[in-house]
Structure 1
Amino acid sequence: MNLLKHLSSIIAMLCCALFSSAQDLAYNGNPDTSYFTARDLAFAGERDAARDTLKQVLTKYPDYTDVRCLLAKTYSWDNEFDKARLQFNRITSGERENKEAWIAAIKNEQYAKNLNIALGMTNKALLFLKDDTDILTLKAEIMQQISDKQLLQNVLKATKNEETTNQSITLATQSEVFDAELDAMYYGSLEYKKQTNWGVLIPRLTFNRRFNINGIQAEVDAYPRFSKTLSGYLNYGFSTSPIFPRHRIGGEVLKELPKAMELSLGFRHLSFENDDATILTGTFGIYRGNYYAVLRPYVVPDSRKGIGVSGNLLVRRYLKDGNNFLGLNLVYGFDTELNQFIVDGELLAETLLYLEAQRLRLEYQFTNTKGNNLYKANLGVNRQELAFSSGELFLSITAGISYQVKFR
């Protein structure tokens, strides 16, 4: 029995010695020097090596907050949000007024797309850091992100509803009257829309009556989707009428960007009987809350006349979903709608692209209770230079309505 006690004592002493040796082996350096070394490694992208050093420091100095905070940040930078959260929680639960830790912890939840958790953390941080400007700014940013996310969900909901009714027919009509001695213009269109596995196809017939000349244009639009964030636009139109281009060709590629933004680049080519015109265009769009704004420039390069430039700004405020909205459309520059003029039997196609024009249009779109019918009304005022009298401007008023019915 004495021998057994003696052996137990020896084993206990060996364990203590080994534990003490392991502790010494774990870390014996200068914690401040190690912290700065790890920070340099982390910023240089060598985060695994940085974490090894930080963990070693914490074995001996578990309350070294800067070391633990940097360790948490390296996890967050590498999208290991759960591991980062554990470290941040340990800091903020003990140091309630550590602003750096609170901000980093909140941003960790932002990066993890846990926006509601991040918002709750800003409220908690403000209990200890009252009226802190940086925390309040971060809170406002998160609230905006939540609002943007809700809007996108509403738009997706409307898109999903469209997918269940993957076909539609739209009938539209519009008129334009002038203060000058010009006959009123009338517009009408009939289009069919088909949702497919690859995107959307829209054949369309357009009727116009301008200056007592009637014309019809056949046209087809295609909106292929290449991926979740990349889509396209293709267009071809044909007409034998002098008030339309004989051939109309268009193409565009649209990329969805982070933070509810989008960007596109494309062109339009108009081929008339005696002339051609190429228009370069693109868009930059952004969603903020219930609002969507998109800017579209038009550029017409010409070796003789230089460059013609126009801008189109569309702003919409969405209501209950993506199919219900109020809109404002502004155009400045040449008339991108190509309300063409004929003088002495000659179409002034090229001249038109360099005429001064301004347009303001209001629009309102809404659905019926079931959401399978769309109604849209627009009202606008236009100011444009006369093609046959340089510098002389006229005013016009436009009004139009459209009706769309959806079905399977």
Structure 2
Amino acid sequence: MRFIYYSIILLFISITAAGQEINIDETLANARSEAEKGSYDKALSLIDPLLKKYTENEDIKTFAGRVYSWKKEYKTAIQTLYPMTDRINPNPDALLAIINVYYWTEDFEKCISYCDRYLVTDPDNIDVLKIKVTCLEKIGRDKEALEIIEKASVNENSTQAFKGIRTLIGRKTKNAVSASYLNISTSNPGQAPMHYGYVEYAHKFSKSALVGRANIGHIENDTQALFEADYYQTFSKKDYLYVNAGVSTGETIFPVAKVGAEYYFRPQKRFDYALGARFMHFETDDVTLLTGQISYKMGTNTIAYRPYYDTGNELFSHVLSFQHTNEEKERVVRFELQYGNVPYLYLYSNFTQPLKAYRAGVQYQHRFGDSFFVRPIFLYEYEEYLPGEYRNRFNAQIIITKRF
């Protein structure tokens, strides 16, 4: 009889204990559900009794630390988590939680140190490696970041997780060389094709950039050269100033001398603006162009409008463009519609008159590897070359760039 009595008591205790375990699981599940909805205070109120009763349960404490971090109470989150992370055998889940806290607070040095602690036991964890590499890039330790990327790529046989970071590091490259060829042909009626080319070298400084360019043009057995330089100066809020100047060896294919400046600024998040002017001195005349731009960015797409006003000839020209950009792959697709006497790159003639020209163009940039770019450009024109007389004009260009 006594045996049956004790058996009933033990069974009752076991059932009660099991009920308490289920209680913990259900409470945590409810708390997670509230946290997912953004009800962080409700989630904390649900697990507070568990924290007081089960003081050694690190799953509960780690979850509490995560909730505090989601609530942006980072100091409390760190106080909750560090006893489980700053010891000889740290809790892996608590380490993951505190890594996120220091990453979100942009304390990249500490974030890296906790990533290293975690990677001791799980050296191939891609998520932690990506956070560490991102932190290294943020503080300018690009060489270390690239070494980790190369090693991880071998282990995982994939660089997908690191493509965006590799692109960011690649954009910091100080030097670039480019070469281009442009062919301009006409039909109905046609004339001998015009040939243009250039080579350029660009170098970035901390807040500025300088570009040197040598152009060559060949038209009807005449060859001339234009030497020019571009200068970019960045300011706060990503505003920047662009200045261009050049001189040529001839008088017809290129202007004898040219100078221009344009200021780009962003007073609003999605809108970009620009205001500028270009002056070109020819042997028989001078040309002054007033220009500017307004663009609107919608995620990866940008639509822009740019007018040109030739003050001497009182001519207005217009460019409407649509551009899609893949930032990670540095891939660009651009469509343009033009009307009027729009300068094509560095080309503009002083022999202007009120003649109509309609243009449609497309260009595409593709990156090969990490630093090699190819950009083909095609522009079709329906050109009024004499009053009431039209012909077809085809502009085909290829630009090749190596970044190093």
Bin of the TM-score, shorter chain as denominator length = 0.5 to 0.7
Q: Match for 2:323 among 296, 313, 316?
A: 316
1:22-43 CA deviation, whole Å, 9 max, x = no partner?
Answer: xxxxxxxxxxxxxxxxxxxxxx
- Give the Cα separation in 2 of the matches to 1:159 and 1:271: 41
Residue type at the aligned position of 2:276? G
Name the residue aligned to 2:357: 357
Kindly state the Cα deviation for residue 314 of structure 1 after the two structures are TM-superposed. Answer: 2.1
Matches within 5 A, 1:61-72: none
Kindly state the Cα deviation for residue 263 of structure 1 after the two structures are TM-superposed. Answer: 0.5
| Percent identity (aligned) | 24
Matches within 5 A, 1:10-21: none
Normalization by structure 1: what TM-score?
0.55
- Give the Cα separation in 2 of the matches to 1:158 and 1:220: 30
Residue type at the aligned position of 1:171? A
Secondary structure at 2:350 match in 1: helix
Kindly state the Cα deviation for residue 337 of structure 1 after the two structures are TM-superposed. Answer: 2.4
Name the residue aligned to 1:366: 366
Q: Match for 2:224 among 207, 215, 221?
A: 215
Name the residue aligned to 2:304: 294
Structure 1: gaps spanning 5 or more residues: 1-84, 91-115, 118-155, 342-348
The answer (yes or no) to whether the contact 2:364–2:376 under 8 Å persists in 1 is yes
Residue type at the aligned position of 2:375? K
Name the residue aligned to 1:346: none
Secondary structure at 1:263 match in 2: strand
Secondary structure at 2:388 match in 1: strand
Q: Is 1:262 equivalent to 2:272 in the alignment?
A: yes
Q: Is 1:380 equivalent to 2:389 in the alignment?
A: no
Kindly state the Cα deviation for residue 378 of structure 1 after the two structures are TM-superposed. Answer: 1.6
Name the residue aligned to 1:60: none
Q: Match for 1:329 among 324, 333, 336?
A: 336
| Equivalent residue pairs, number | 248
The answer (yes or no) to whether the contact 1:311–1:333 under 8 Å persists in 2 is yes
- Give the Cα separation in 2 of the matches to 1:224 and 1:339: 21
Q: Match for 1:399 among 392, 396, 399?
A: 396
Matches within 5 A, 1:160-171: 160-171=168-179
1:216-268 CA deviation, whole Å, 9 max, x = no partner?
Answer: 10010111112233210100011022211011110011111323211010000
- Give the Cα separation in 2 of the matches to 1:198 and 1:298: 29
Q: Is 1:188 equivalent to 2:197 in the alignment?
A: yes
Kindly state the Cα deviation for residue 322 of structure 1 after the two structures are TM-superposed. Answer: 6.9
Kindly state the Cα deviation for residue 320 of structure 1 after the two structures are TM-superposed. Answer: 4.9
The answer (yes or no) to whether the contact 1:169–1:190 under 8 Å persists in 2 is yes
Structure 2: gaps spanning 5 or more residues: 1-37, 43-69, 72-163
Matches within 5 A, 1:192-207: 192-207=201-216
Question: Cα gap change, 1:287/1:350 in structure 2, threshold over 3 Å: closer, same or farther?
Answer: same
1:305-332 CA deviation, whole Å, 9 max, x = no partner?
Answer: 5x21001122111135372111112211
The answer (yes or no) to whether the contact 1:310–1:336 under 8 Å persists in 2 is no
- Give the Cα separation in 2 of the matches to 1:285 and 1:192: 28
The answer (yes or no) to whether the contact 2:308–2:316 under 8 Å persists in 1 is yes
- Give the Cα separation in 1 of the matches to 2:353 and 2:397: 24
Name the residue aligned to 1:280: 290
- Give the Cα separation in 1 of the matches to 2:389 and 2:345: 18
Name the residue aligned to 1:46: none
The answer (yes or no) to whether the contact 1:229–1:257 under 8 Å persists in 2 is no
The answer (yes or no) to whether the contact 2:282–2:350 under 8 Å persists in 1 is no
Matches within 5 A, 1:102-121: none
The answer (yes or no) to whether the contact 1:238–1:246 under 8 Å persists in 2 is yes
- Give the Cα separation in 2 of the matches to 1:280 and 1:318: 28
- Give the Cα separation in 2 of the matches to 1:374 and 1:227: 29
Secondary structure at 1:183 match in 2: coil
Question: Cα gap change, 1:177/1:212 in structure 2, threshold over 3 Å: closer, same or farther?
Answer: same
Residue type at the aligned position of 2:175? Q
Question: Cα gap change, 1:260/1:246 in structure 2, threshold over 3 Å: closer, same or farther?
Answer: same
1:75-119 CA deviation, whole Å, 9 max, x = no partner?
Answer: xxxxxxxxxx99xx99xxxxxxxxxxxxxxxxxxxxxxxxx99xx
Question: Cα gap change, 1:297/1:255 in structure 2, threshold over 3 Å: closer, same or farther?
Answer: same
Matches within 5 A, 1:113-152: none
The answer (yes or no) to whether the contact 2:330–2:367 under 8 Å persists in 1 is yes
Residue type at the aligned position of 2:178? T
Normalization by structure 2: what TM-score?
0.56
Question: Cα gap change, 1:339/1:383 in structure 2, threshold over 3 Å: closer, same or farther?
Answer: farther
The answer (yes or no) to whether the contact 1:335–1:355 under 8 Å persists in 2 is no
Secondary structure at 1:228 match in 2: helix
The answer (yes or no) to whether the contact 2:329–2:367 under 8 Å persists in 1 is no
1:5-63 CA deviation, whole Å, 9 max, x = no partner?
Answer: xxxxxxxxxxxxxxxxxxxxxxxxxxxxxxxxxxxxxxxxxxxxxxxxxxxxxxxxxxx
The answer (yes or no) to whether the contact 1:329–1:361 under 8 Å persists in 2 is yes
Residue type at the aligned position of 2:394? I
Kindly state the Cα deviation for residue 396 of structure 1 after the two structures are TM-superposed. Answer: 1.7
The answer (yes or no) to whether the contact 1:300–1:353 under 8 Å persists in 2 is no
Residue type at the aligned position of 2:271? M
Kindly state the Cα deviation for residue 272 of structure 1 after the two structures are TM-superposed. Answer: 0.6
